Amino acid sequence: MIPWAEVLSRIPFEGLVALDEVAVRFAYPQALEVPLHWAVVLEPAPPLARLLPEAPNRAAVASLLEGLRHALYESFERGRGSALFATAGIEDAARWRDVLLDHYCRPRWIYTNGQATYSLVERSGPRYEVARLPSLGSLHEFRTPYVRDLPDPREVVELGHLEGAEAYVLGKLALVEVRALPLLGEAGQRTLLLRACGSRPGGAGQRAISLYRAYVGGAPMLLEMQPGRRDAYTVLNELPGRLPGEVVHACATCASFRFSGMSRDASGGTRGYCRRRLEAARSSGLPMPGLDVRPRYGTVVSVFDRCSAYEPIADADREVPFCRHR
């Protein structure tokens, strides 16, 4: 049900296999070429003319490479004293860079559940090295000089058997984050479970589409949320069309929820404010700038938030007409 081929569309892959309902495994068709920015990042006089040659601002290109070098050294420093550095004999940033290249350019397998991503590298011994990557998107970002988030060396583990390494990864990927939202209806209360499972391209000039696997009473459905089109606010308000007679108990469908100014565009339709809390904050007499005072009133809310003061909004009161159900 999850369109993994679209989720992985920016990554060269083959051998895509669903290991269970949650996790998949895939490989690169062949080892990837080492990106130039990684090949020269530690050189004292890197050939900047060859890096992003079409970019007119060469000072900005130099700054990009310096930022990458800083991220590499910062990641290396986190690994000092780790089990990996001790057993693999990693004593300098260049050696750690080579390990990263193995995991991003030459892994045997890559595993993901759409939330967490792991790479597996086979070493001599045999020894199997498993690294938790910052995100699935980092597989693409690593090939650009804009990458800044790198794996934590302390989260890299070594195992002596391939099956044991895969069992370790599957155990980690089984720990998925699920958001539970009550459904209010005439038949009583049920629960909507939402599990983020990655994103896919949104089309030319459009923002990515976030994918959620939704479960209601054990029945799954795929929800797609795209800022500027069918954002999270819209999807949550339109769910009664797919779940007749039931409304999601969340800020998105509450009479007190409002978007303010550019908050909808800036947040991709995920954040607004609670009118009830804003009125309470104003009447308190406390300083208002930034609304970051004590006690805080939590005036800025996510469309997924909920509280006991929830009151479903009437269709006639909705600010966005296309979310009306009648």
What are the tens digits of pLDDT across the range 227-243? 888 899 999 988 887 88
- Mean pLDDT score across all residues of the chain: 90
Return the higher-pLDDT residue of 24 and 124. Answer: 24
Residue 4 reports pLDDT greater than 90: yes
Q: Mean pLDDT lowest for which of 40-54, 239-253, 289-303?
A: 289-303
Rounded to 5°, the CA angle 294-297-300 comes to 120
Q: Which of 32, 30, 50, 31 is nearest to 40 (CA)?
A: 50
Give the residue extent of every domain in the chain: 4-173, 179-323
Give the model's confidence band at 262: pLDDT under 50 very low, under 70 low, under 90 confident, else very high. confident
Quick one: average pLDDT of 112-140?
95
The band of 264, judged by pLDDT with boundaries at 50, 70 and 90, is confident
| List of E strands, 186-321 | 190-200, 209-216, 219-225, 246-248, 257-258, 271-274, 300-302
Q: Give the pLDDT confidence score for residue 23 in this predicted structure.
A: 95
pLDDT score recorded for residue 326: 43
Q: Is residue 114 within 8 Å of 136, Cβ to Cβ?
A: yes
Model pTM score: 0.88
pLDDT (0 to 100) of residue 293:
55
Range name among 79-83, 97-101, 136-140, 275-279 with the lowest pLDDT average: 275-279
- Residue 238: per-residue pLDDT: 87
**pLDDT (0 to 100) of residue 289:** 53
